[in-house]
Amino acid sequence: MTAIETLATRIEGLGELRRDEPMARHTTFGIGGPADLYLTVRDSGSLREASTAARESGVDAFVLGSGSNILVADAGIRGLVIDNRARAEQTDDGGTTYRVESGASFAAFSRRMGRQGRAGLTWAVGIPGTLGGAVVYNAGAYGGCLADVLTAVRLGDAEGDRWVAAEELGLVYRGSAFTRGRAAGAVVLEVELTLLEGDVAELVARAAAHDQKRLAAQPRGRNAGSMFKNPPESPAWKLIEAVGLRGATRGDAAISERHCNFFVNTGQASASDVAWLVEEAERRTFEQFGVRLDREVSFVGAWQ
């Protein structure tokens, strides 16, 4: 039996297991070839067990949140993809400290907190990922970021299952120990957030204002949010516009006319079409301005 088949036998009781699952079904880009094994889990214990089983079997495992910040290769992902739908939640008696499993929707949680008079997360109501993905990138918007309210994270890795203080995660602008490769193989199982009490009407109004801003600024169509981090020199969209790429296309991939840090799948774009535009933006920006754009979207899977 191959390592993949041995692993499949070991994890099939942990959730729904599929083979050769097209990743295009599970990314906001609507792009990506097949995953060898695709397991959907609904609790953090199964998430931890599946990732441990993969490590012990010598098979690569990729934890998928909402697929809203990844570009998956056309050749797909070798090994195991764990689709994290673990969403249980607990709160302390006063209702300001929350422990939430990492597959919960960040936007839905943030919106609900506002409606319940819990302040600190209204900036996040339009971010379409899971809490696990939000930890990895220290997700942020409109002057706020996860690090402002995150107190601890339950991690699963080769050292076991333990709570780690947020300060140990190296959270910076769209980055963390995860994005810098210092948490290789670690899985965010649960997060602990501490919120403040706030005025419901004011929080709901602030969330609505953020919704309006997003609606006005962001393009429709399938995308993964901002492609690049904003370098210190200038917002990434201004540089991309200045090198003449606003509205550029390659196959069905396009750099949005509306916001040129958004790369959009307008139909049946391939990952390599999007990657071509990304590399073109990087090349021109470096050649014309000496600025190296840093990707915010992670390229994952079997790229050549």
Ligand X SMILES: Cc1cc2nc3c(=O)[nH]c(=O)nc-3n(C[C@H](O)[C@H](O)[C@H](O)COP(=O)(O)OP(=O)(O)OC[C@H]3O[C@@H](n4cnc5c(N)ncnc54)[C@H](O)[C@@H]3O)c2cc1C
Q: Which residues are 99's β-sheet partners?
A: 90, 192
Decide whether 44 or 284 has the Cβ nearer to ligand X.
Answer: 44
Output the CA angle 150-156-159, nearest 5 degrees. Answer: 120
In the complex, least distance from residue 288 CB atom to ligand X, rounded to whole angstroms: 27
- Mind telling me the catalytic residues? 174, 226, 296
Decide whether 57 or 130 has the Cβ nearer to ligand X.
Answer: 130
Residues within the interface to ligand X (CB under 6 A): 28, 62-70, 84, 102, 127-130, 132-134, 136-137, 139-141, 178, 187-188, 218, 223-225, 298
Q: Quick one: CA torsion of 85, 49, 146, 105, rounded to 10 degrees?
A: 0
Decide whether 105 or 284 has the Cβ nearer to ligand X.
Answer: 105
215's tokens: 């609606």
Decide whether 119 or 135 has the Cβ nearer to ligand X.
Answer: 135
- In the numeric block, the tokens 């699952």 are attached to 21
Q: What's the CA gap between 162 and 42, in Å, rounded?
A: 19
In the complex, least distance from residue 238 CB atom to ligand X, rounded to whole angstroms: 18
Decide whether 69 or 122 has the Cβ nearer to ligand X.
Answer: 69
- Cα 22 to the center of its chain, rounded Å: 18
Q: What's the CA gap between 111 and 261, in Å, rounded?
A: 26
Instruction: Please measure the distance between the N-terminal and C-terminal CA atoms of the chain and give it in whole angstroms.
Output: 27
In the complex, least distance from residue 139 CB atom to ligand X, rounded to whole angstroms: 3
Q: What's the CA gap between 169 and 176, in Å, rounded?
A: 6
Contact 17, 38 (CB under 8 A): yes
In the complex, least distance from residue 186 CB atom to ligand X, rounded to whole angstroms: 7
Q: Where are the alpha helices (DSSP H) in the chain?
A: 3-11, 44-57, 106-115, 131-137, 200-217, 236-242, 271-289
